[in-house]
Every structure is written in C-alpha cells, then in structure tokens.
C-alpha cells in the first residue's frame, strides 16, 4: 500500500497499556475500509470514525491525528470508537499538549505521541489533575454524581 502513515512505537511518549504496540504503519480510513488485513489505521479530523465500526475486531491500533490542538473532532472520534466497544490501542498524535492530556484520557485515548516531547513532570501533573469527574465518558470512571448517590 502506498500510505505509510503514522507514528512508530518510539514516538509514543505515554502509553497506558501492557500489550505489545503494533510495529507497522497505519493506513488511512479509506484504505482501511478497502483492505481486509490492515490492523492499524489513522483518523484525520474530517474522517467519520463510524465507518470503522465494522472493522473494529481486526484493528489493534487507531491513531487519531490532531493537526492543530484547537480542532476537537478527535475527542468525539475517540469516544465513538470506545462506545462501540473498540478495545485496541487508541493513540493521540500530533499537536497533543500538556493541558489536553486529561481530557484525551477521559475520551478513551490510552497512548500519546505528541509532535514535541512534553515535559514529564508537567505531564504527570496533568494526567492527575482531576481526582473526580462530572461526566460519564469513555474511561468508565464513576462520576461525582454516582459517588454522591451510591450507598
């Protein structure tokens, strides 16, 4: 295939999974739908994540590209995949900045390959920013409202 896209495992700065990362390049969403053997795909902001739903079983890596940090479509793409049961690696790549890490994590991203490496200490702080959360999201954390009304 012509496309040789995506980030290599070396470029991943943070990963919250124990399995071996996929070691080959990702393909575009279009090629993924045409090819029967692709296991890694890369979503651009304009792609509809839902076209991947029939193929989730064979996918091990979905990269979601953030060409600019202000384009938030990738957050919806991530949640949609997790809501459909996707359990493989979901990697945020591109303009991934410190202050987005906690939100991305909540939307279901479990690995991060920022364009520019992030300060480890700042990032650790960012991942831990929210001890509690208001909304239900892809991380299945119990929300504040759930905690208020347990018991």
Burial letters for 99-118: b for 16+ Cβ neighbours within 10 Å, e otherwise?
ebbeebbbbbbbbbbbeeeb
Nearest distance from C-beta of residue 59 to other proteins, angstroms: 20
Question: Does 2 interact with other proteins (rule: CB under 8 A)?
Answer: no
DSSP tag of 81: H
* Residue from the set 29, 37, 99, 115 that interacts with other proteins by CB under 8 A: 99
Whose Cβ is closer to other proteins: residue 15's or residue 73's?
A: 73
Residue 69 and residue 100 in contact, taking contact as beta carbons nearer than 8 Å: yes
Question: Does 85 interact with other proteins (rule: CB under 8 A)?
Answer: no
Residue 63 and residue 24 in contact, taking contact as beta carbons nearer than 8 Å: no
Question: Does 91 interact with other proteins (rule: CB under 8 A)?
Answer: no
Question: Does 70 interact with other proteins (rule: CB under 8 A)?
Answer: yes
| Interacting residues with other proteins (CB under 8 A) | 45, 48, 69-73, 75-76, 79, 83, 97-100, 102-104, 106-107, 119, 122, 125, 129-137, 143-149
């Amino acid at each position: 295939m012509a496309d040789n896209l995506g980030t290599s495992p070396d470029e991943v700065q943070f990963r919250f999974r124990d399995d071996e990362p996929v070691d080959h390049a990702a393909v575009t969403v279009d090629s993924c739908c045409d090819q029967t053997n692709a296991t890694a795909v890369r979503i651009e902001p304009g792609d509809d994540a839902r076209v991947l739903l029939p193929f989730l079983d064979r996918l091990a890596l979905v990269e979601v590209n953030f060409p600019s940090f202000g384009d938030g479509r990738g957050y919806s793409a991530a949640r949609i995949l997790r809501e459909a049961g996707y359990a493989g690696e979901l990697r945020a790549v591109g303009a991934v900045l410190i202050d987005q890490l906690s939100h991305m994590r909540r939307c279901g991203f479990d690995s991060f390959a920022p364009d520019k490496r992030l300060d480890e200490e700042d990032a650790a702080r960012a991942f831990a920013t929210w001890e509690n959360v208001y909304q239900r999201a892809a991380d299945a954390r119990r929300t504040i409202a759930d905690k208020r009304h347990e018991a």
